[in-house]
Amino acid sequence: MSWITGIARAEIRSLQAYQHAAWEPGLVRLHANELPWRAATDTSEAGLNRYPEPHPHALATRLAQLYEADAASVLACRGSDEAIDLLTRSYLQCGRDAVLITPPTFGMYAVAARIQGAGVIEVPLQREAGYALDPRALLAAVTPAVKLVYLCSPNNPTGNRLERTTVLELAAALAGRALLVVDEAYVEFARAPSLCAELAAHPGLVVLRTLSKAHGLAGARCGALLAHPDVISLLRRVIQPYAVSQLTIEAVFRALEPGPLALARERVALLVSERERLAAALAAHDSVQRVWPSAANFLLVEFTDAGAALERCRAAGLLVRDLRRAPTLQQALRLSIGTPEQNDRLLASLP
């Protein structure tokens, strides 16, 4: 048994996964208690009266092609949130284990751990260094209880990308102790390569990807967890069968055809251009104290009066994210980059 599964919960390592009905689509299905007729409103290709593939291998293979990884290293799931939940339930024992996070960052890492009854250790990003990571402080905070270390790059909500060399050095330093989980939800907007190519060299590295952002499929709920095949095999014991719906599977395959893929890349390029235009325009506003550099599809902006800016946006019919409750972000709003027209409306709403 390798260390990457040896640090998981013993109950999960010995768990017998649910035995789902056999998947043989070439045969007439009289074994899964399904209705033999489609619903009157069903326009899907495969028919929603039938369960989808329990663990969608074809989808995992297509995602592996997209992310240039081995199919055995890919687990398709319902967005990154489900991937975080699976890691939490598989690796953290209630009352004993912990995660390490680097706030301000995506809130689900801590929420999932607390739901599990696990601890949360925080090593804040360095605001004075552009919200950079402090690798020495992080490693010093890793106790034997820590089984998962979460990094988000580009980070949500600060928008900065963590240094690749630093992340890989941390993966090496954590080997044998904890998995390093790197959330790359926004990497397509960063003009930088993914860490997926490093999985073979770093067995303890886990990469989270999603189709919600760059591919415009947030409502479909489809993401991918990429890791060593041993980790994938372990998580397959925990993930629910039929987790990814048939409608989602079909939507993903359509979105990953050559034409839609090319359009997605064009839209990412336009959004990056709009991000830079919006950042420059906001920086010139008297109401703006600071626009933080971003490698994502949003901007972290500090205002002289964030509450007033929030209300002006709402009056213009625009909803932005209020971050004022977070430490170090008391006058900050997170602004998603919209269409050029929406960005113009946002600029016009500010004094």
Is the pLDDT at 301 greater than 90? The verdict is yes
- Cβ(170)–Cβ(135) under 8 Å? yes
- Give the mean model confidence (pLDDT) for residues 304-329: 94
Whether 20 has a pLDDT exceeding 90, the answer reads no
Length of the chain: 351
Q: What residues have CB less than 8 Å from 316, skipping those under 6 apart? A: 345, 346, 348, 349
Mean pLDDT of the chain: 95
* pTM of the predicted protein model: 0.94
Dihedral of the alpha carbons of 290, 291, 293, 295, in degrees to the nearest 10: 150
What's the confidence (pLDDT) of residue 153?
A: 97
Q: Which domains, from first to last, does the chain contain?
A: 3-256 (3.40.640.10), 259-349 (3.90.1150.10)
Instruction: Give tens-digit pLDDT for 85-95.
Output: 999 999 999 99
- Helix/strand/coil for 289: strand
pLDDT confidence of residue 213: 96
Phi, psi for 148 (deg, rounded to 5): -135, 130
Q: Is residue 248 pLDDT above 80, yes or no?
A: yes
* Mean predicted confidence (pLDDT) in 124-135: 96
At CA 328, angle to CA 327 and CA 332, rounded to 5?
105
**pLDDT tens across 141-177, in order?**
999 999 999 999 999 999 999 999 999 999 999 999 9
- Amino acid 209 reads R
Predicted confidence (pLDDT) at residue 21 exceeds the cutoff of 80 = no
Tokens for 336, please give them: 């998603």
Categorize the per-residue pLDDT at 191 as very low, low, confident or very high, splitting at 50, 70 and 90: confident
Asked if residue 351 has pLDDT above 80, the reply is no
**Averaged pLDDT for residues 207-222:** 96
Rounded Cα–Cα distance for residues 195 and 148 (Å)? 17
Q: Which whole number is the average pLDDT over 269-274? A: 98
What pLDDT score does 302 carry? 97
pLDDT, residue 321, reads: 96
With CA atoms as reference, report the closest residue to 339 among 347, 331, 329, 328.
347
φ/ψ of residue 122, rounded to 5: -115, 130
In this prediction, residue 313 carries a pLDDT of: 95
* pLDDT for 212 beyond 90: yes
Please name every residue paired with 247 in a beta bridge, in sequence order, or none if there are none: none
Whole-angstrom CA distances from 140 to 89, 116, 170, 173 are: 25, 24, 12, 11
Residue 82 gets the label, from left (phi > 0), alpha (psi -120 to 50) or beta, of alpha
Percent of the chain topping pLDDT 90:
90
The DSSP bridge partners found for residue 122 are 101
pLDDT band, very low/low/confident/very high, at 200 (cuts 50, 70, 90): very high
Report which residue type is found at 127: R
Q: How confident is the model at residue 282 (pLDDT cuts 50, 70, 90)?
A: very high
String of DSSP letters for 173-226: HHTTT-EEEEE-TTGGGTTS--GGGGTTT-TTEEEEEESSSTTS-TTT--EEEE
The confidence score (pLDDT) of residue 29 equals 86
Average the pLDDT over 66-94 and give the result. Answer: 96
> For the chain, how are helix, strand and coil distributed in percent, rounded to 5?
40, 15, 45
Residues 6+ apart with CB under 8 A from 117: 94, 95
Tell whether the model's pLDDT for residue 210 goes beyond 90: yes
What's the token pair of residue 216?
């415009």
Distance of alpha carbon 132 from alpha carbon 166, whole angstroms = 10
The answer on pLDDT for 130 being more than 90 is yes
CA distance 326 to 122: 13
